[in-house]
């Protein structure tokens, strides 16, 4: 499980991950809240069907693709969370 190193001052930001509310901090990326929410796998490989999730955390590996506010295929690690953001993984849908 992923745990915050320091759970300090950051302002609370509530997003929806697969329809469930989750409280992150201002400045978190979508990938950060996915990992904190235990959604380590957020999609499945098109070829093998294996789960895939945030890996490089810096925009390079394209493993953490999710749907954000209705737009498919976005890199979770590159998007800061906003209040009421709707994050949808495809692990169950696939």
Does 77 contact other proteins by CB under 8 A?
no
User: In terms of CB distance, is 59 or 80 closer to other proteins?
Assistant: 59
CB of 62 to other proteins, least distance (A): 5
Does 69 contact other proteins by CB under 8 A?
no
Token pair in block for residue 78:
């590159």
User: In terms of CB distance, is 20 or 60 closer to other proteins?
Assistant: 60
Does 45 contact other proteins by CB under 8 A?
yes
- CB count within 10 Å of CB 88 equals 18
Does 49 contact other proteins by CB under 8 A?
no
Does 46 contact other proteins by CB under 8 A?
yes
CA distances in angstroms from 55 to 7, 14, 59, 61, 69, listed in the order given? 22, 23, 9, 7, 22
Would you tell me which residues interact with other proteins (CB under 8 A)? 45-47, 62, 65, 73
């Amino acid at each position: 499980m992923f745990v915050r190193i320091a759970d300090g001052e950051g302002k609370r930001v509530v997003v929806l991950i697969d329809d469930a509310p989750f409280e992150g901090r201002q400045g978190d990326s979508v990938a950060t809240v996915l990992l904190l929410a235990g959604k380590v796998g957020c999609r499945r490989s098109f070829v093998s069907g294996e789960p895939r999730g945030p890996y490089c955390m810096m925009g390079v590996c394209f493993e953490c693709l999710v749907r954000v506010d209705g737009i498919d295929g976005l890199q979770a690690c590159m998007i800061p969370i906003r209040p009421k953001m709707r994050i949808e993984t495809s692990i169950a849908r696939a």
